[in-house]
Chains A and B, each alone.
Chain A
Amino acid sequence: MKILAVDDSPTLLEILVCTLVEAGHDVREAGDGAEAMKVLAVDEVEMIISDLHMAVMSGFELLHKVRQSPVHQGTPFVFLTTECDDELKRAARHAGATAWMVKPFDPVSLVQLVQRLGPT
């Protein structure tokens, strides 16, 4: 599956990318929302996993833009963040997020989540 990973922490992004690649996925990466939009402009992905707090463009803003884009409006969008506030989760849901995973994450669980969200 082609997945876009977005996180402004280079280490965490690397861990995320490696986890997904080792599970056999094709991964694109971006360090913030603006970079992510650039990637999405040229590449069609089947899932987006993104951090919430990022410079330039936050996770929420990115989600908003993604849901407005013709190509990716239906693409599963997962937030991967240290936040676990219920209010925040509800807001994310309203904005169109598909799922929420908390950091620090267990790589095995992430891979399973990705598999569940993906095409059958």
Chain B
Amino acid sequence: MDSKLERFRTMFLDECDEHGRTLERTLTALQRGARNHDLVDDAFRAIHSIKGGAGMFGFDRIVPFAHVFETVLDGVRAGRIPISEELMTAALRAADCLADLILAAGSNTDLAAGYENMMLGTLARLAGITVADSPAGGTSRVNATEDAPPGEMERWSIQFFPHRGLLKRANEPLFIVRQLQELGTLAVTADLSVLPPFAQLQPADAYLGWSFELETARGEAAIREIFQFVEDDCDLSITQVLPVMAAAEADPAAAVPHETMAEPMTSTIRVDIDRIDRLVNLAGEIAISQALVAQLIDQSLFNANPRLFQELSQLLTHTQNLQDSVMAIRAQPIRTIFDRMPRLVRELAEQTGKKIVLRTAGENTEIDKTVIEQLSDPIMHMIRNAAGHGIEDSAERVVSGKPAEGLIHLSAEQRGSRIVIEIGDDGRGIDREKVRHKAVAKNLISADSVLSTEDIDNLIFLPGFSTADKVTSISGRGVGMDVVKRNIQKLGGRVNVRSEPGRGSTVVLTLPLTLAVLEGMIVRVAGESYVIPIASIVECRASWQKDVGEVAGFGEVLKVRGSYVALVHLNRVFGSAAAACKQQSVAIIAEIEGGGHIGLVVDEIVGQQQVVIKSITDNLDPVAGIAGATILGDGRVALILDATEISKINASRAKAAWHSLNSENARRNVA
């Protein structure tokens, strides 16, 4: 491939992604019965553009495939080939195939030889052409006038007399002369016979004719090609004169003078992600400063200076706008992930033999770039689950009065400062008996624990859980759900499932708009404020003291619905060793990685708010149990707690205590 075009390669591959999405949208609609002509046009043009570009970059496998595909769509466009569901289904598979070819070309990998041939055959059959007929169109034709291989030197006499209106088509005879000059040696004689007196001259009309004598080895076809565009506007005769021995070729056309390269104008700009992060940070800082200022200003100041209130309000508005704009820089529509799903569903439907349709909503919902890529796997996993476990096969569905086609719906929506993504199906729902049974069998819950239906449903997120009777290649063991939950929590979000037996299940992902911001619960411990991420809080217990137990060698535990969680008194961790337990202290049950829980005792709960996360590890060594810091509205610093870390510290401390107790006993025994 021409090295000069290398820099456009990525651009072209991105463009092909866009065309792929267009094909998905239009062909799916047509397959479902839409007959809007625009859809066919859009699909045709998408393939056409892919073909045109692929030729430029030398993607040789794409061009012939795209050409046949394009021919099919052209036939549909012109009404020669009727639209049918069967045809559009084939077209969708062809679009998938094309996407694979593009992916392979873009990553310089090779698909198995003949990968696309069967699809090509199907398309060709539908288009009514034989594959051999479909020339690669563009690949071999680079320039219309320079193809003919040089042959014998011949002499031609060309009479060219333009009609009056030739110039009106912007055809400049001089252009023709130059092209003839490039074919060989040219002698020109002008014919002025029709030229009128000056006073009667119409400047836009053509009055001159020419007689050319051309010596060229390029053949008649090359000459005719030059006149192809003016043929109808002139009197033309091309006749060969006696052949002549090869004479010296005319000088090659002078090289185009090399101008200094001008930078093309672009409407986008590349920015280092670090700079964006810094900007996001600064916007957060400004928001905090502004809140502090607002707090310092009291009514008396406003009374003394009325304009102060006005200007401060303005400042508040501007700051909010600034923050929004900055956050928007990193935001991308979730469409980039959603668009991959229809193909997945198609493949799953084929693999399982079930009829499944995917409906999406809210593709334009924007999410921070840092979050978006991490969502792809979880969402795909849940769709696999829905297709593998949730949706029943058509026979079973019809028997229960459902439409034969199963529905999976995928939606995204912004609610306040959170993004809510739902993946649902209208299948058989969660079998609660089975789930509970399995959970007990695997010792994840105790046999006598009292659980609400919602609790049972959410048991599927526990690690080591699976309701699949057999492992299938489609959805694996189903253990992925705990991984999904962990990954979503890492993003600061939460996962929930709700289900109705026989009606279906829906998994709900809730995510913060951006990773830099956290929804936190502000608590007080030993006179200081701390933040616990709301996403990991399961429950807050006001009267917890009655449920406390002691485990020898370990420490305190709290009984929570039939099981025990480790209990940590944060005032002992962060405050003085023997700080008394306050009357109104609260035990906060938080989730930790790995599926367990921990109880954190705090002096009081202050409230709940969004906080801007500030890293402390930029300037300080990491401290176990602390995930970061933030500045609260009152200007004080609050440390953000990491429940998992605290749990680990607690466990290792207990272990150490146990060991020392054991060795102490051992020493005593020996002595």
Contacts and interface: CB of A to CB of B under 8 A. Distances in A.
Nearest to A86: B228
Contact of B143 (A23, A74, A106, A116): A106
B229 A100 contact: yes
Contacts of B179: 116
A11 B228 contact: no
B666 interface: no
B146 interface: yes
A113 B49 CA distance: 23
Interface string A32-70: 000000000000000000010111000000000001000
A107 B11 CA distance: 18
Interface stretch (B164-172, B381-389, B415-423): B164-172
Interface residues of B, number: 49
Contacts of B41: 55
Nearest to A111: B256
Interface stretch (B91-99, B134-142, B431-439, B568-576): B134-142
Contacts of A98: 169-171, 175, 229
A76 B171 CA distance: 7
B262 interface: yes
Contacts of A76: 170, 172
B401 interface: no
B250 to A, nearest CB: 15
Contact of B48 (A11, A82, A111): A82
B633 interface: no
A84 interface: yes
A117 B172 contact: yes
Interface in A92-120: 93-94, 96-109, 111-113, 115-117, 120
- Helix, strand, loop or mixed for chain A's interface? mixed
A55 B45 CA distance: 8
Given A18-B264, A102-B144, A84 B52 contact: no
Contact of A12 (B52, B169, B204, B230): B52
Contacts of A89: 228-229
Contact of A101 (B11, B139, B144, B204): B144
A3 to B, nearest CB: 13
A23 B256 contact: yes
A15 interface: yes
A17 interface: yes
B258 to A, nearest CB: 9
Given A99-B229, A102-B142, A102-B143, A11 B15 contact: yes
Contacts of A96: 168-170
Nearest to B259: A24
Contacts of A87: none
A12 B229 CA distance: 25
B668 interface: no
B142 A105 contact: yes
Contacts of B253: 112
Contacts of B172: 76, 117
Interface string B166-208: 0111111011001100000000000000000000000010000
Closest 3 A/B residue pairs (Cβ): A24-B259, A104-B55, A109-B143
26 contacts: A9-B52, A12-B56, A14-B264, A15-B8, A22-B261, A67-B169, A73-B168, A76-B170, A76-B172, A84-B141, A89-B229, A93-B169, A93-B232, A96-B169, A98-B170, A98-B175, A101-B143, A101-B144, A102-B138, A102-B141, A104-B52, A104-B139, A104-B142, A105-B56, A106-B142, A113-B143
Interface of B: 2, 4-5, 8, 11-12, 15, 41-42, 44-45, 48-49, 51-53, 55-56, 137-139, 141-144, 146, 167-172, 174-175, 178-179, 204, 228-232, 253, 256-257, 259, 261-262, 264
Given A12-B56, A53-B44, A96-B170, 6 more contacts: A51-B52, A76-B170, A84-B137, A93-B230, A97-B229, A120-B174
